[in-house]
Amino acid sequence: MDWRLRRAGEGDGARLSLVAGATFLEAFAGVLDGQDIVVHVREQSGPPAFLRYLAAGAIATLAEAVSGGAPVGYTLLTTPDLPVEPRDGDIELKRIYVLAPLHGSGLGPALMARAIDDSRGAGHRRLLLGVYGGNARAQRFYAKQGFAVVGTRRFLVGATWHDDLIFARDL
């Protein structure tokens, strides 16, 4: 499948929400409690959540199938909300997800490159992100992209706490 990237805007809340729910379910079905996934997606990835992020100045990139324009991945850059010593110039890659059929297609690295370019373009000097501690595949991807572990956090999904790693990369 061919894909393209574009900056998401306030009119893309439903598209971002659709791919957010689908990719979160793909990533964590069988890992996290099903009800916790439902609650988390409803509260953290519904169209209103994306509209709030964008209204607050977040930068979102949407990956779409060239044929038909269906959403297939996305990134979301926000003001950092992570338990690490903040630095002037920090930004958080709050979300980066790609539908499973496109893993290995180059879309993940393309989304990361766009997030890095957007972060630099906005004057940021360090990119932070949190990742589920049990997601070895994502951790390998981030390491390959030049990130290193700088901390940990407890992350609530639904009603269950999970351990995350915090990665950072200088820009």
Per-residue pLDDT tens digits for 32-74: 899 999 999 999 999 999 999 999 999 999 999 999 999 999 9
Nearest to 15 by CA among 80, 97, 92, 91: 97
Residue type, 94: K
Q: What is the mean pLDDT of each run of 10 residues along the chain (171 residues)?
A: 94 97 94 92 95 96 97 98 95 97 96 98 98 94 97 90 96 97
- Give CA–CA dist 141/151, Å, rounded: 17
Task: Give the E-state strand segments of the chain in sequence order.
Answer: 3-7, 59-65, 71-78, 90-98, 126-132, 148-157, 160-170
The pLDDT of residue 64 is 98
pTM reported for the whole predicted model:
0.95
Is beta strand 90-98 parallel, antiparallel or unpaired with respect to 126-132? parallel
- Give CA–CA dist 52/136, Å, rounded: 30
Whole domain around residue 41: which residue ranges?
A: 3-170
Grouping H, G, I as helix, E, B as strand and the rest as coil, residue 150 is strand
Domain with residue 63: its CATH number is: 3.40.630.30
Return mean pLDDT, the chain.
Answer: 96
Q: How many domains does the chain have?
A: 1
Q: What are phi and psi of 156, to 5 degrees?
A: -90, 120
- Give CA–CA dist 94/161, Å, rounded: 18
Instruction: Map tokens 């700088």 to a residue.
Output: 150
